[in-house]
Structure 1
Amino acid sequence: MQNARGWMVRKAPWLLLAGFCATAQPVLAADYQQSPQVDEFIAEMTRDYGFAGEQLVDLFAQVERKQAILDAISRPAEKVKPWKDYRPIFITDKRITQGAAFWKQHEATLARAEAEYGVPAQIIVAIIGVETFYGGNTGSWRVMDALSTLAFDYPPRAPFFRKELREFLLLTREEQVDPIGLKGSYAGAMGLPQFMPSSFRAYAVDFDGDGHINIWTNPADAIGSVASYFKQHRWQPGQPVVSAATVNGADVDKGLTVGLEPVKNVAELRSLGWTSADPLANDLPVTAFRLQGAAGDEYWLGLPNFYVITRYNRSVMYAMAVNQLAELLVEARGNN
């Protein structure tokens, strides 16, 4: 049913076992009944976290194993698109227009988040825009199905997804929401900002003060939660994200960062032929990278705030897309 917060809730589902059993949907799936792995998991949740074993048995009786999820996560990774092909996926007129509208609609909330957490409104909006098109595509898989399928039937990452399943059950108990009713991505990412359950419990906030955290249908909580995530990952207020660079000489490639961790500082890169377009401290650690742009190779220095964005999604191109979308959203706001 829908309550005043606008999302799926059962009345005290984790407190009233009898009520849960009485209102549970008809049991159509038996994919995880009599599973030794599930029995072990239920025993852990009962022993370590105080869940009622009978209640969890009833819950898992409703959970379905999804072969489509296993197919998706097992599919060989596609060849990484170059920046000139990746950028147009996220930097579009529609995403900019709708982002400016989202910003205008939630202007007061975004201003408060920026004031409280030090994270610019445009970065928050850009994250939500890249992740779910401002809530337009938050995922259609039941989170219980997704996490259970990956926890019990995908051995390569079973420990990770088993932990996320545990975190998911804990958050549904804390927030008093129906674990069967919540939906997300095929990997269990949830809501407007696509938080995994562990991120939800670590960083999500009740930004509208209604006593519950709802990142599925409540933009205020989603906005505050993104800002909270960035602050706790050491976003530096008022500081830029990237600096364009020019390069010269035979040692340029020696400056390129392997991975995302900034292992060289500005002075070291300068000795390898890198020159920043902006005045940067010599001892500042930066991520140095090259992108294949539409007009040729682009060289960039990722600053500390760039690294923070990569903590949200470990991809240089993702962080660049978020930053450039944010810049275009500021421009669109100024033109309106």
Structure 2
Amino acid sequence: MLAFPLLFASAAHAQTHPGQEQLVREVAKDTGKSKASLNALLDGAKKQQAILDAISRPAEGKPWRDYRPIFLTEQRIEAGADFYREHRKLLDGIGRKYGVPPEYIVAIVGVETFYGRNTGKWKVIDALTTLAFYYPKRAPFFREQLKALLELPQNHLGGPIDTLTGSYAGAQGWGQFMPSSIRDWGVDYDGDGRIDMKGSMGDIFASVANYFKDHGWETGGPIAMRAQPDRRAVAPAVPKDWRPVKPIEAFVADGFAPLKHVNPGRDAQLVRLDGPNGDEYWFTFQNFYVITTYNRSPMYAMAVDQLAQEIRARVNGPASR
């Protein structure tokens, strides 16, 4: 008689993806969700070779002279100005609340998804499963994102998990938030009890602004300005991140001078970009660093900064910075 119940104890679920069983155990323990439902989601997720191919050739692999024209087009600038005008009351209110200029919120949405036009068509569960289990180079990061996705409460999702779409990296919505960013910085600005990163302009804008504020945005602070090298100047090494490291006056002593007036005691970082006419050198500040926490590429941060300035100029006229 003992064999009968042992028969029904059955073997453990045969995992579809390497590492699935351990992840399911962790999520079930943390959330109380059933292992069967979690396994069903992951069993239905497909490894996508096209995602592995895409992540190996990101736009950030281009030099600045080729990267900038992707995002600083007349079409994107004018569309951004129109988008700002359309949502100005909401954007200005959120900008005041979080201390983030509205044009930078608009520029993030503009660079990420062309103001919501291109939010991505990959199934998020496929993208994160592929990268968590089949992309060793960054598997720990994407495993964390897959776990966060599976653990998000329903009111943080735009629908059932297996219906969500986004980028090949698993980012969702107009601001392209990863699951952990939705969890940590998503805002229910419109007060409807949900965080809607695709359908609520208030939630989208406030989530971007909240992310910037929480990462140290300095209200009224500078982002970047050109630096002019002299004969003493030596191209800087690429740092581990883009935090300001020393005052402007220390860079001046190394042969790099600002092309505009700036407090010589303000801390900065020095960025070298491959421009259309050769090397470009830029002093970058705390707010530039904050943008690089959204996407670590300095070219991304520079594109956001320059697009924001162009949009602001179209809407209000050039601002002093």
Range into which the TM-score falls when normalised by the shorter chain: 0.7 to 0.9
1:91-120 deviations in Å (ceiling 9; x for gaps) = 011101111111111111101111110000
1-side partners of 2:117 and 2:85: how far apart?
Answer: 17
**Number of the residue aligned with 1:14:** none
Task: Quote how far apart the aligned CAs of 1:247 are.
Answer: 2.0
Query: What is the TM-score of this pair, normalised by structure 1?
Result: 0.83
- Which residues in structure 2 correspond to 1:76-115 (within 5 Å)? 80-115=61-96
User: Which amino acid is the alignment partner of residue 129 of structure 1?
Assistant: G
**Which one is further off, 117-126 or 95-104?**
95-104
1-side partners of 2:297 and 2:17: how far apart?
Answer: 37
Q: Does 1:132 align with 2:119?
A: no
2-side partners of 1:164 and 1:316: how far apart?
Answer: 23
Q: Does 1:165 align with 2:162?
A: no
User: Which amino acid is the alignment partner of residue 142 of structure 2?
Assistant: F
Q: Does 1:281 align with 2:263?
A: yes
2-side partners of 1:197 and 1:242: how far apart?
Answer: 30
Aligned alpha-carbon RMSD (Å): 2.2
2-side partners of 1:267 and 1:197: how far apart?
Answer: 41
User: Which amino acid is the alignment partner of residue 174 of structure 2?
Assistant: L
Task: Quote how far apart the aligned CAs of 1:126 are.
Answer: 0.4
2-side partners of 1:69 and 1:226: how far apart?
Answer: 26
**Number of the residue aligned with 1:60:** 42
Task: Quote how far apart the aligned CAs of 1:169 are.
Answer: 1.5
Note if contact 1:46-1:52 (Cα within 8 Å) is conserved in structure 2. yes
Task: Quote how far apart the aligned CAs of 1:174 are.
Answer: 4.6
From 284, 309, 316, the counterpart of 1:327? 309
1:235-289 deviations in Å (ceiling 9; x for gaps) = 1111221122222122x11556534233332121111112113333333221112
Rate the CA distance shift 1:96–1:178 in 2: closer, same or farther, 3 A.
same
User: Which amino acid is the alignment partner of residue 141 of structure 2?
Assistant: F
2-side partners of 1:94 and 1:185: how far apart?
Answer: 22
DSSP-derived class of the 1:61 partner? helix
Q: Does 1:119 align with 2:100?
A: yes
Task: Quote how far apart the aligned CAs of 1:146 are.
Answer: 0.9
Rate the CA distance shift 1:112–1:60 in 2: closer, same or farther, 3 A.
same
Note if contact 1:257-1:263 (Cα within 8 Å) is conserved in structure 2. no
From 155, 159, 164, the counterpart of 2:136? 155
**Which one is further off, 306-315 or 238-247?**
238-247
Gaps of 5+ in 1: 1-31
Note if contact 1:263-1:286 (Cα within 8 Å) is conserved in structure 2. yes
Q: Does 1:299 align with 2:288?
A: no
From 21, 36, 48, the counterpart of 1:39? 21
**Number of the residue aligned with 1:19:** none
2-side partners of 1:82 and 1:331: how far apart?
Answer: 26
Rate the CA distance shift 1:277–1:209 in 2: closer, same or farther, 3 A.
same
Gaps of 5+ in 2: 1-13
1:60-104 deviations in Å (ceiling 9; x for gaps) = 33222222222333x367894332222111001110111111111
Task: Quote how far apart the aligned CAs of 1:290 are.
Answer: 2.7
Rate the CA distance shift 1:80–1:154 in 2: closer, same or farther, 3 A.
closer
User: Which amino acid is the alignment partner of residue 102 of structure 1?
Assistant: F
1-side partners of 2:176 and 2:41: how far apart?
Answer: 24
Q: Does 1:246 align with 2:228?
A: yes
